[in-house]
Structure 1
Amino acid sequence: MAVSFDDMVVIPSIVDLIGVNRVKPIVVVAWEAPPLDFLKLNVDEAMPRDRSKGGIGGILRNCDGRCIASFFGSVGQGCPILVELLALEIG
């Protein structure tokens, strides 16, 4: 939806309507089991934009999908990639 500058001046609330009808595709990603006699470690991190604090977590599963071990914890400041590597190291 194209909105002219004049329209934004006369009807400021029209800006709120821009992008309302945009639909983001939903991507479904299913967990895949590791090969027989292998384990699979999944880790993730969460960090706010200001990188002031964050959290990590992980889960270790066998080829049947059963949880063997899991962990989670808080982390301080840091780059998201380095925090993810920390989660791998702990896992």
Structure 2
Amino acid sequence: MMLQISRLFFCKQIIPKPLGVQCRNLHKKSIDVTWEKPDIGWTKLNYDGSCKCKTGKSSIGGIFRNHNAEFLLGYAESIGNSNSMIAEFAALRRGLELVLENGWNDILLEGDSKSLVDIIARKKPVKCVEVQKHVTHINSMMPEIRNCILTHIYREGNRAANKFAQMGHNLKNPQIWRDIPRNEVLRCIVLQDARGKTFLRRR
């Protein structure tokens, strides 16, 4: 028996590394990710922040849709040098400002930063002063909304918000789009989301 174990160990050792990686990946579970419409009468905000690693230049973006998955409003802007975490909070903060400006009362907030959700929803403490400023503003605005729910979604389900955030890098001034997104790629993403396109995410 000991001989058999030794031989098995030896065989495992000589497996080429790329093959070993492929074998391990076969055992990883995959999940389906789909953007979902909010309930009737609700408005959904998907927000995102973007930061270019080499330069630190950051931007934000977000998109509002109704229960029919119809585009209501999109926003994007450059926020100068920052980091990805601050950009995420800035994107949510700007989105909440637009919620209050437009008088929406039942709001579902959705982003792909799990850390942000933990900090806001679970009151997780933060050390960064800039992040704390955003947290304070966000916490002051959310109670002004009649119903406000904050949730996390994987990046595959947050593509439209990510596209707006990417557009923000090229803007000199903050911009808002109403009724229809002006970017062809973005219109395609919105349509795919409305139709319930599913993406496979490997954990």
Query: Normalised by the shorter chain, which TM-score bucket?
Result: 0.5 to 0.7
SS at match of 1:71: strand
Per-residue deviation, residues 19-72 of structure 1 (Å, max 9, x unmatched): 49857x876521111111110000111212245202211100111100110011
Secondary structure of the residue that 1:29 maps to in structure 2?
A: strand
Select which of 49, 55, 65 maps to 2:53: 49
**Equivalent-residue separation in structure 2 for 1:48 and 1:76 (angstroms):** 11
Q: 2:36 is matched with which residue: 23, 32, 38?
A: 32
- Structure 2 unaligned residues grouped into runs of 5+: 1-12, 96-203
Match of 2:62 among 58, 70, 74: 58
Q: Which amino acid aligns with 2:66?
A: N
How many residues get paired? 78
In structure 1, what residue type is equivalent to 2:73?
A
Partner of 1:10: none
CA-atom RMSD in angstroms? 2.6
Taking structure 1 as the reference length, the TM-score comes to 0.65
Contact preservation (8 Å) 1:51, 1:79: no
Q: For residues 45 and 19 of structure 1, do their structure 2 counterparts lie closer, same or farther at Cα, with a shift above 3 Å needed?
A: farther
- Percent identical residues: 28
SS in 2 for 1:32: coil
The amino acid across from 1:71 in the alignment is: Y
Partners of 1:26 and 1:70 lie apart in 2 by: 31
The one of 83, 96, 109 aligned to 1:79:
83
Greater per-residue helix proportion: 2
Matched AA of 2:34: A
Q: Is the 8 A contact 1:51 1:78 kept in 2?
A: no
Could you state the TM-score of these two structures normalised by the residue count of structure 2?
Answer: 0.33
Greater RCO, CA 8 A, separation 6+: 2
